[in-house]
Every structure is written in C-alpha cells, then in structure tokens.
Amino acid sequence: MCRFLMMRSDAPFPTAEVLATFRRKCRESVEFQGHGWGAAWRAAGIWSRHKSLTPIWEDKFEIPKEVDFLIVHARSAFKDTGITIENNMPFYRDERAFVFNGELTGVRLRVPGRIGAEKVFHLIERAANHDHGDLSQALAATEALLLSKSDYVRALNVAVADGNRIYARCRFNESPDYFTLHYRDDAIHSVCSEPLDASYHAMQNGQTVTL
C-alpha cells in the first residue's frame, strides 16, 4: 500500500532533505513501494508534474530546490497489477490533486475510473460538488459511503489539495503503525504516510485535518 506526502507554505521551502527522507522511507518500507511514483510542485506560481515507473529511490529526476507546494506519491500496486504510468498518482482535475493509501475489497458501487484510487477521487469530487466545494465534508461523506458499500476496508487514507489548502482523512481497520497518517501545522503545513521528523503529530483514526 502506497506512501504519500503533501506540503505547502506561504513562502518557498527547501525540498532536498524532505525528498531524501521520503525516498529512504519508501525504500525501507515494510511493503514494496517500487511500482513507480509521481509528483507535483508549485514554484514561482507555476505548477509542474512528473511521473515515472522507476522506483522513487532509483529515479534521478530532480525537483526544484525550493517550492511552495509539493505533492509526492510512491505506488504499491494492488496485487502487483495495473502497473502503468497512467495509474500513478497524484491524480488531477482542474485545481485539485489527489493521493491515496489504502485497500478496499468487495466494493458495490459503479464509479468511473481505471483503478480503485481513481474511483475514490471521483466520489470525493462528486461529494464536494454536492457540498458546495467543501472538501472536508466530502472526505467524510465519501468514507461513509465506501464503508457502507464495501465488504472490508483495510485502510482508506486520502489527501486532496485545491492549490490553497490540504485536506486529509485517516481511516484504517488494521496495522496502525503502517496506516496512521501524520501531519504538521506550523510555518510548513504537511501530511505524510509516516513522520518525516519530530515535528509531525499522529492523526487519530477517523480524523480529518485541513492544513
């Protein structure tokens, strides 16, 4: 199951140490995170993106040294299937970007999307449209729907960015050491699949944060 990171700040922040730590944690993860990765970042008001099927710790691609918004996702494909670059996150639509870490089985819903994560993104967007764009409420509504329509939810961790804020929700039914999301909310606002340093706080199961 995947690893992800979202960070933003009002001022540019350095990326080298953050990315080095994230890459190392992906390489050392108890679950294989080598089915490719993707990233999006904003520097000088311009968004750029990168996706690769190379494991994140092997890819030599360099993100700019300073950005004010950063989104990174390392993929662990469900049952080692669907390993194509189109299935790498972040997924985007207009100003929104989405990352996912989890596993659901026996989902009884007809939803557009190539893979489960893309279907979850579609449901969040649909819920947000019903809630006048409120992504925090949309995350909770989507979770409730999926819990009621799935045989089992191992985990359902999501984060969505709208270019101004980060919205993240943590939900799991097993392996808390692996599935607990962590966040920091100071000069740099961030949510990550695991803490990058001592400034991060563990999210509660079922908690939503807006950063």
Three-state DSSP at 168 gives strand
The length of the chain is: 211
User: From residue 175, how far is each of 30, 39, 102, 179, 205 by CA, in Å?
Assistant: 11, 26, 11, 6, 12
pTM value is 0.96
Report pLDDT for 39: 98
Rounded CA gap, 5 and 185, in Å? 14
Report pLDDT for 131: 67
CATH topology of domain 3-204: Glutamine Phosphoribosylpyrophosphate, subunit 1, domain 1 (3.60.20)
Domain ranges of the chain: 3-204
pLDDT tens across the length of the chain (211 residues):
799 999 999 999 999 999 999 999 999 999 999 999 999 999 999 999 999 999 999 999 999 999 999 999 999 987 777 889 999 999 998 889 999 999 999 999 999 999 999 999 999 999 998 867 799 999 999 999 999 999 999 999 999 999 999 999 999 999 999 999 999 999 999 999 999 999 999 999 999 999 9
